[in-house]
Each structure stands twice: as C-alpha cells, then as structure tokens.
C-alpha cells in the first residue's frame, strides 16, 4: 500500500500517523507546491490524503483507490478526474474548536471589543453603549450538522435562544432544545429575527449564494454574521456592502473567496474587508487544534487499514464514476 500525504497539519503528526498504518505501507510526503514531485508520487499511490485534488493532480493518480480529505469539505476534490471507482472520504472532529471560535466571535463582535481595542491603541476610550448579552440573544444556524449542533450546545449554556434552518428541514427542535427549526424556505424568518447568524453549511450548487443582498438586507443593523462554512455561501459583493454601509453590525469571517496558491500570501477577497473595523478576519483556522488533527489522523489511518484488509470504510461521501 502506497500513501501520499500533502496536508501540512498531518505532517506535524508524521510519526504518529505512520506508526498507525499497516506494516509495509510506504508513505510519501511531497511538497504540494512542487507539482512534478507530487504527480510522480501519485503515479504509484493507492491513497491520496489531501483536501485539494484538482483535475491536473487527479490525472496523475491512475492507481488511486481512495482520496481522503483531511476535514469535512470535499469541494476541492475533482471526483470527475479520478479513476472510476475511487472512493472519496472525509473526517470531522473540528466541531469543538469551531464552536469555541463561534462563541468567542459572537461575544467579541456583540460587545464591541474590536472597536474598543483599536480605539484604545490610539489613546481613545470608547466603551460601547450597553451592548447586549448572549443570554438575551437569538442565534440562527444556517445548517445544523456536526458544527451547528456542537456550537449550539456551547451557546445554550449562556441562555441564548436558538433557531435553525437546514436543506431537509428535518431537525427535531424539541430534542435539540431550539425555539424552532425549519427548511430553507424559512431562511428569511431566521435572518430577520436572529441577533447572531452562524453559517455552517457545506458549499454545493444549492448553497452557493444562499445568503445574498436580499437576505442581508433583512438582518437587524445590530446583528452579526459568523461564517465557518464556506465563503461563497454568502454573496461576496453583498456582504462587503452590508458591512461597509452599516447594514449589519459586524462579521467574523473564517472562510473566504480567494485562497493563495502558496497557502501563505494573498488577500482573501477582491474587496478590502481588511479595512473594515467591524470585521474579524481569520485564515480558515477556526477548526484548528491539536485535538482536531490527532483525531483526524486516527480516522484516516483506520480507513487506510480498512482499505488494505478489504473492510468497509467510514465516512464515504462519494465514488468516482
């Protein structure tokens, strides 16, 4: 069994990762920026562990049997370019870290800490006029999977009220202790009534641009939006305009519209979100913690063991046709 890994977070756990694999497994760790080296390694690979597998990369993996994402998202894996029958799997374990991020962001934005910090660094004391507490807030979840459910567990402890909309509209509001839960048709009601909107849906054809100018215009001017799903779920132009013009109170954005080719340098949007004082910007880091990746590493190596022994794999989300 030959495995190719390009994820930098797993590289930090290399010893643990390799020790958990079946005997006689060969593991290559090519530089993902060296396309020739990556393609050469993939030529003999059975498994590719990466969240990024575009068509030109997939074409090199003619023997691939499994592409394993290192997180939940598989939107950057081109299934159509993989050999037919190649399995695509994902993993989670980021919900605890993301829940902490959402709670911290909601408090920071609603209490005005971003503006206070900037002002005081300039010598100006500008405490906000009686900001609201989370205990009196309505938190609206756009998506209620692993991330939404875990985040709601944390926010519920503050006494907040929760509401949720999902594509299927099948969330049990009573069991989840939500005020109500509905389908996408109820998105407008959620946007109108929520003090905090948490976007945590995956990016699909149906969710791209799900929240646009119309939805943002219905939000309260004091409301904040926290996006930990995927950037394009919220229309880029409309979001910037709403934040710049004070249509909404603020936003915490951990997922973006433009990602740097080298993974390190570049603006995350064509709009200058970085100039706005009511925006918390983070580099897709909300789910990062040591616990996140030790657990993900265990999931991935378990699936590789299962593949090697002919057992069924966990968390299969697609099969190349």
pLDDT tens column, 152-209: 999 999 999 999 999 999 999 999 999 999 999 999 999 999 999 999 999 999 999 9
Question: What fold, for 2-90+289-320?
Answer: Rossmann fold (3.40.50)
Rounded CA gap, 185 and 173, in Å?
16
pLDDT tens column, 118-141: 999 999 998 888 889 999 999 999
Q: Indicate where the chain has its CATH 3.40.50.720 domain(s).
A: 2-90+289-320, 95-281
Integer-rounded Cα Rg, in Å, for the chain is: 21
Point out which residues pair with 141 in neighbouring strands.
Answer: 164, 198
Which tokens hold the place of 273? Answer: 């979100």
Report pTM: 0.89
Would you place residue 5 in the very low, low, confident or very high pLDDT band (cuts 50, 70, 90)?
very high
| pLDDT at 35 (0 to 100) | 94
| Burial class of 261 by CB neighbour count within 10 A (0 to 12, 13 to 18, 19+) | exposed
pLDDT tens column, 31-56: 999 999 999 999 999 999 999 999 99
Neighbours of 254 (CB within 10 A): 22
Which tokens hold the place of 96? Answer: 């605890």
| Three-class secondary structure of residue 39 per DSSP | helix
Rounded CA gap, 38 and 11, in Å?
15
User: Looking at the domain covering 95-281, what would its CATH class be?
Assistant: alpha beta
Would you place residue 261 in the very low, low, confident or very high pLDDT band (cuts 50, 70, 90)?
confident
Hey, CA dihedral for 68, 72, 76, 81, is it positive or negative? positive
Rounded CA gap, 61 and 203, in Å?
25
| pLDDT at 127 (0 to 100) | 86
Hey, CA dihedral for 309, 310, 313, 317, is it positive or negative? positive
């Amino acid at each position: 069994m030959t495995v190719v890994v390009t994820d930098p977070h797993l590289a930090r756990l290399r010893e643990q990762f390799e020790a958990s694999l079946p005997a006689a497994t060969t593991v290559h760790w090519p530089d993902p920026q060296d396309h020739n080296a990556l393609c050469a390694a993939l030529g003999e690979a059975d498994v590719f562990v990466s969240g990024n597998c575009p068509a030109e990369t997939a074409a090199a993996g003619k023997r691939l049997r499994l592409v394993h994402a290192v997180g939940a998202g598989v939107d950057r894996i081109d299934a159509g370019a993989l050999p037919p029958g190649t399995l695509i799997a994902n993993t989670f374990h980021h919900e605890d870290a993301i829940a902490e991020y959402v709670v911290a962001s909601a408090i920071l934005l609603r209490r005005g800490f971003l503006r206070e910090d900037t002002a005081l660094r300039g010598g100006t004391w500008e405490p906000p006029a009686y900001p609201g507490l989370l205990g009196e807030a309505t938190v609206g979840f756009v998506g209620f999977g692993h991330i939404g459910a875990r985040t709601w567990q944390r926010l519920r402890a503050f006494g907040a009220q929760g509401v949720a909309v999902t594509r299927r509209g099948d969330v049990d509001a009573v069991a989840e202790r939500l005020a109500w839960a509905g389908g996408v048709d109820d998105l407008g009601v959620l946007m109108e009534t929520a003090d905090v909107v948490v976007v945590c849906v995956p990016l699909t054809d149906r969710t791209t641009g799900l929240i646009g100018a119309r939805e943002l215009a219905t939000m309260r001017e004091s409301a904040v939006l926290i996006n930990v799903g995927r950037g394009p779920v919220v229309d880029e132009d409309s979001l910037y305009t709403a934040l710049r013009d004070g249509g909404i109170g603020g936003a915490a954005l951990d997922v973006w519209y433009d990602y740097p080719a080298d993974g390190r340098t570049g603006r995350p949007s064509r709009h200058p979100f970085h100039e706005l004082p009511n925006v918390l910007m983070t580099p897709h880091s909300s789910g990062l913690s040591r616990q996140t990746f030790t657990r993900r590493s265990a999931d991935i190596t378990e699936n590789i063991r299962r593949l090697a022994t002919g057992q069924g794999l966990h968390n299969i989300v697609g099969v190349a046709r």
